[in-house]
Structure 1
């Protein structure tokens, strides 16, 4: 959200860019970096917006650099990362799957209510519950949470759909709602300050999605509500649109992977 706002200011006031010329590195984290934002930032600012991947439990995992600006870069020294299919077998290069990490930065364990510790095995692969891939050159690409939904016989990943849907030019959230007939109904929410009609956005989204991935409904909002740490607040967005909560999105904190910054 910060970088979308920054680009808006620079477009309206080009003279601002000169004052930012001394910035050596632009970095971002906390949620997957949409491709349209990355491309727009490079075009407008003349430098890449470098993405990073990390978790509270593991610390920094992978960071893009000016030399390797794609995706989230490669795993940091001493960190090992692998991608697994649902059946536990190794994913091919570029194939989406569940991300597992081994890192010297792994936490000691989970703190219990009484102050004691539930330790974790420092030598085990840590299942991050994130969805992503590793290219043949080792570049890590994180899509989002590994939360599959089932619709009309297909297994779909809402955050994977979001990444492709954002090729329409605006941020998109995909909210799954239980549907007895379909399994799940998919509500696509577009953040569009100009407020173009949902039908307009439905047509634009259709170009980037397979037939079985098309929205059941399209909503347009000025902007996404944000959590205290600046991430889109899915629970608040569901409440705003009057959509029921998915399991794990009820009241109370939900662990999310943070960027390693």
Structure 2
């Protein structure tokens, strides 16, 4: 029986909430949802921004043991309607008014106001330690939707028991402590954020909630609220470093803060970001690797800060080439994973599930390699393209450019003469870096991999996951290539 007894608290814009306050609010929300007729075997969509009330809503749904379908707060209305129908949901719990006539929409704000206005109608709940045992017994406890940036969004079905077991292994590996103050600068609606919420609760430490879109507020949270663990995606760390480079006073305050672990995930960590961070903060940026389909796979730690760290217990890794042959240590190939935390499958997509699972191994589509059992991930394998008779990987080119200290995004476009036109964007506010970069690229790239267009871009566009929006980058590349021909 999974029952947690904690002394944890939440520090948020809504105030400082104790464990007892959280448990009371969860008990009240659970009763109000039951009064609205939410069945125990139901499926509820949760769509909300980071806040104390997101945590209350998530734990309330787990407490009444319904299947929780979490979608990003920026998901458009048509996509929400599609997910509602596909998931067979009975209602949507949200912090924004949605005009979906065929759906039952419950506003989080209404539950907050009703509890305050009608305390006798709600009834004083029996305050007990949260118990997620029944929720963990569900094979569809959690359904996570992919961002859908490269196609139709997919519902990833997770069993409660395997999800929770993966979280426990992660806590042990990272050595989270009850004295920690965890600051996630990631959306709570994604696996990364949800995993940190449960890690916080099971660790019995403190959780700091900030607006991940307002990075200036993050500085205050780190210093004022005494954060000891900070998690963010690479794009957020790039932005933080740029902002602090113009604010030496704030930089010194962050350097002297009690942060003991800076953690990064969500997309590959480039060598230039890793080196810049280490040089500025004199601390390692601990990289981790995981997928919604598998949970956390490997985590960098203070004891082993190299690459993405070693795999968690009950996780096996292989590196395979395009023909499926296992690669020797140090050779780059596709990362295949066998994990006890693997998903049940894609919702209503058995064909897609079978395409990524083979004899219990999940084909990630990511390029990487192993070195002394430590996993190094380069990025999405994507498509290799034919260029002047050679097979070329844009991801490999990005990795090599990153090795000389530049963040890049390489887009491959069809071209009659070369087969493929390579457009490389360099994140820089000035074109003056390009002559130096061209010279340095000659050292790390063969001539057939050298980009046809090398263009500076002050800020890479990001999707709602905080990753580089490659579809938007492709649109810009097509525009640049057309203007070049004109």
Task: Give yes or no for the alignment of 1:150 onto 2:398.
Answer: no
TM-score (structure 2 length as normaliser): 0.47
For the residues of structure 2 that align with 1:160 and 1:90, how far apart are their CA atoms?
Answer: 19
Shift in Å, 1:234: 0.9
Shift in Å, 1:118: 7.8
Shift in Å, 1:202: 2.8
For the residues of structure 2 that align with 1:95 and 1:167, how far apart are their CA atoms?
Answer: 17
Which digits, 9 at most, give the CA deviation of each residue in 1:207-233, with x for residues without a partner?
321222111111111111000111010
For the residues of structure 2 that align with 1:91 and 1:49, how far apart are their CA atoms?
Answer: 28
Which structure features the higher share of helix residues? 2
For the residues of structure 2 that align with 1:191 and 1:99, how far apart are their CA atoms?
Answer: 28
For the residues of structure 2 that align with 1:172 and 1:227, how far apart are their CA atoms?
Answer: 16
Shift in Å, 1:69: 0.9
Shift in Å, 1:170: 2.4
For the residues of structure 2 that align with 1:85 and 1:184, how far apart are their CA atoms?
Answer: 23
Q: Which residue of 2 aligns with 1:130?
A: 366
Task: Give yes or no for the alignment of 1:231 onto 2:467.
Answer: yes
Structure 2: unaligned runs, 5 residues or longer: 1-234, 481-486
Task: Give yes or no for the alignment of 1:58 onto 2:307.
Answer: no
Q: Which residue of 2 aligns with 1:46?
A: 282
Q: Which residue of 2 aligns with 1:68?
A: 304
For the residues of structure 1 that align with 2:385 and 2:361, how far apart are their CA atoms?
Answer: 25
Q: 3-state DSSP class of the match of 1:40?
A: helix
Which digits, 9 at most, give the CA deviation of each residue in 1:17-53, with x for residues without a partner?
4433211110111211111110111111011011111
For the residues of structure 1 that align with 2:465 and 2:284, how far apart are their CA atoms?
Answer: 23
For the residues of structure 1 that align with 2:291 and 2:403, how far apart are their CA atoms?
Answer: 27
Q: Which residue of 2 aligns with 1:259?
A: none
Shift in Å, 1:131: 0.9
RMSD of aligned Cα (Å): 2.3
Structure 1: unaligned runs, 5 residues or longer: 245-261
Q: Which residue of 337, 342, 351 corresponds with 1:106?
A: 342
Which digits, 9 at most, give the CA deviation of each residue in 1:128-168, with x for residues without a partner?
11111111x11101111122112122122111110111234
Task: Give yes or no for the alignment of 1:12 onto 2:251.
Answer: no
Q: Which residue of 2 aligns with 1:190?
A: 426
Higher relative contact order (CA 8 A, sep 6+): 1
